Every structure is written in C-alpha cells, then in structure tokens.
Structure 1
Amino acid sequence: MTAHATLQFEPATLADLPALCALLAQLFAQEHEFSPDHTAQQQGLSHILQHPDIGHILVARQQGQVIAMVSLLFTISTALGGRVALLEDMVVDQTCRGLGIGSQLLTFAIAHARQQAIQRLTLLTDQDNQAGQHLYRKHGFQPSGMQVWRLIL
C-alpha cells in the first residue's frame, strides 16, 4: 500500500467478514484485555452486520480489499435524550499503518455518526496507547473524568 493509493470508505458487508476477523485478530493480539477468538469475533461482527439498528461497521478499502475498520455501536443516552455510539475496534492493517488511513477512516466515521444523528461518540483505549490517543485528540476527542469499570458475566 502506498500513500497515493485511492481509498474508499464505506459500510462493511457480510462478504467482508473474513477480512474484518483478520483485522480484529491483529487488534486483539496487541490489546491488554482481549485475545483473538475467531469464532467469537465472527459471531459478533455477523450480528452487527445483520442488525444495523445495533451498529455500523465502516471500512477503508484499497483496490477492493479491506485494510482498516471501525465499529459504531448505538445506544440511547438519558443525559442527552438521544442516540449515542461507542466507537470500537478501530484498526488499520499492520502493513498499512503510518499512512494516515486511520485518520481518514476516523474522519469518515465521525461524519457517518453525524448523519445518523449520533450526539456523542465514546471510546476506550489502552492507557499506554499513545499513538491512538494522539489520533483521537487530533479529531477532537478528550479524556473523560469517568472511570471504566467492568463485570465479565
């Protein structure tokens, strides 16, 4: 992939499932709290793709191949009185990093969220993911005073 290659940004389809699973395997191999599990990732992605009221998966393509993805998962905020989204699974194929593709995909995702009348985007990032945090700050995200707590069921 070269910096000059034409990119397309669009919603993913079920046909993209193998490429999406491969990208999530890369992402979860580098995250502290998650591990790649092809069956789980395929099941989750398939569910989102088949139920667009739950969320949208957006991709960057180069010559028809998926090289990056991001998920927007929808819910309702009682504080804002409307739809908000969790931005998850932001990943660029490791062979294509450092070319600005993630930034372009994030710009597309924010515009897509606005078109969907999303009032707030929230995301989680590893505390030591300085590159990711720099990217998110560049696009207007700010750290929250809220603390993440989880209960795995």
Structure 2
Amino acid sequence: MFTVEEAKLSDIESLIDLLTLLFSQEAEFAPARDIQKRGLQTILEDKKIGTIFVLKDKQKIIGMVSLLWTISTALGGRVAFLEDMVVDTAWRGRGGGHILVEHAIAYAKKLTCKRITLLTDTDNLAAHRFYQQFGFQTSVMQPMRLILNDQ
C-alpha cells in the first residue's frame, strides 16, 4: 500500500538517490549529489518556495515529486511548476506515479493554484502520454534557458 507524505530534511539522502536516477535519464541534466542536496535543502527549509512529496511503500521512499511556486501575472495568481517527478525503477508500473501526480494536483488545487506547468524531454513520449492522462497538454510556448553559472 503506497502513501504520500511531505518530505522532511531527514529524507534528503533518499531524495538525492531518486534525483540521481532521474537526472541520469534526462538529456539536459547530470547528477551531482552536492548540488542536488543544496537545492533540496533550500526547498524543504522554505515553504514559500515549494513542497516536495514522497511516495512510500511502508517506510521506504520509492518516489518523489516537487511543486514550486510562483505568481502568474497572466492568470492573476499563484501557479506551480511540477518538477522532479520520479519513481524508483523497481517500483514503476504499479500505480505509484499516478498516486504522486494526483496528490500534487489536489494539493495545488487546495492552494488555489491557477496552473501547473512541467517540462519533459521532447523525445520522452512515455512521459508525454503519462502526463496527458491527467489533462496536461502540450503548450505552444517554447521553453528557453540561459544558464548563468556552471554550479
């Protein structure tokens, strides 16, 4: 039986392991434990930045998803970025990912978020199909990035 909880600072090592798995699969990112630890601590120490949820089987953390907050002037209110959605490979295909995303959506609705945005690799068609099940749609907006420093 899966459960979803808010992550705690004591969960960081397990979260870093999951991010290592995720960033090993993504084209644009690479695992770096110290950097991921710094980012996770920043989120977990300030609820104004976002919320991280963990998926557990009994007491073992097997997945995670982050919601990060900002304000949309176009929509006149809070919006969320869904980030770092990952389930351990040994636990995929059992419905845990659905539970995590459904929980994140419900939480964002509870906080009256007007929109949730996420990014996937353009060639990750499995992820596209997964998110479309929840109502996510492809946007005509093109993401662009300016990297300001290496680390």
TM range (shorter): over 0.9
Supply the AA of the counterpart residue of 1:17: I
* 1:17 matches 2:34: no
Alignment coverage as a number of residue pairs: 148
Partner of 1:3: none
1:144 CA drift (Å): 0.2
* Correspondence for 2:127 among 126, 132, 138: 132
Q: Secondary structure at the match of 2:70?
A: strand
* Correspondence for 1:115 among 100, 110, 118: 110
CA RMSD of aligned residues (A): 0.6
Partner of 2:139: 144
Partner of 1:64: 59
Question: What are structure 1's unaligned runs of at least 5 residues?
Answer: 1-5
Q: Deviations over 1:9-29 (max 9, x none)?
A: 111111110100000000000
CA distance in structure 2 between the aligned counterparts of 1:101 and 1:130, rounded to whole angstroms? 19
CA distance in structure 1 between the aligned counterparts of 2:62 and 2:41, rounded to whole angstroms? 18
Structure 1 length normalisation: TM-score?
0.95
CA distance in structure 2 between the aligned counterparts of 1:133 and 1:100, rounded to whole angstroms? 16
Runs (4+) of structure 1 moved beyond 6 Å?
none
Structure 2 length normalisation: TM-score?
0.96
Partner of 1:32: 27
Question: What are structure 2's unaligned runs of at least 5 residues?
Answer: none
Supply the AA of the counterpart residue of 1:102: G
Partner of 2:79: 84
